[in-house]
Amino acid sequence: MIMIIAVAGFIAISFAVWWLHKHLVIVTVCGTSMFPTYRDGDRLLVRRISPGRVRRGHVVVLANDMIGVAQPPYVIKRVLAVPGDPVPKAAIPSLRSARDVVVPEGRLVLVGDNRAHSRDSRQSGYFASESLLGVAVTRLPHATSAENAPPAVRMVETPKAGMQPVHLVERYPRPRS
């Protein structure tokens, strides 16, 4: 009987870990483009969803498609328009000359909450919805000490370039010692 309970418990825990890994990601905010909603160093719980489920007003995390040196691998922005919405040409200078009347399929219009310090659709136009990682669900509590708080970007020694930032997204919180 104890063996059956142990096996059932193991299966339940394994399923829970698999489900969490498949559906949730923890992301550390790097930068001020979403201030005051999110601050540099905030940790967000992000739910993976398909691009078709994104709605206007959602805060999304997606792979950074913008060309540039030392860009973070992911960006966090607010959705201003989704496919089928009217193109917000008045608010987005880079789309004023666009021939589209509505946002095309597979594209999103994204902006940072801190418009003065955000590189977003106003400069880059549409973002590809296929780059979507997920939607921010909630901000996680800050660690009680700086020792337990994970860095926003980890630095790793590389043979040719010295110290380089390499990590923005963490799948799991760091274990407490």
The CA distance from 113 to 13, in Å, is: 38
From 14, 22, 33, 131, active-site residue: 33
From 14, 22, 50, 77, active-site residue: 77
Active site residue 50: no
Active site residue 118: no
Name the pairing type of β-strands 24-28 and 162-167. unpaired
Q: Which residues of 86-117 are buried (b: 16+ CB within 10 A; e: fewer)?
A: ebbeeebeebeeeeeeebeeebbbbbbbeeee
Catalogue the active-site residues.
Answer: 33, 77
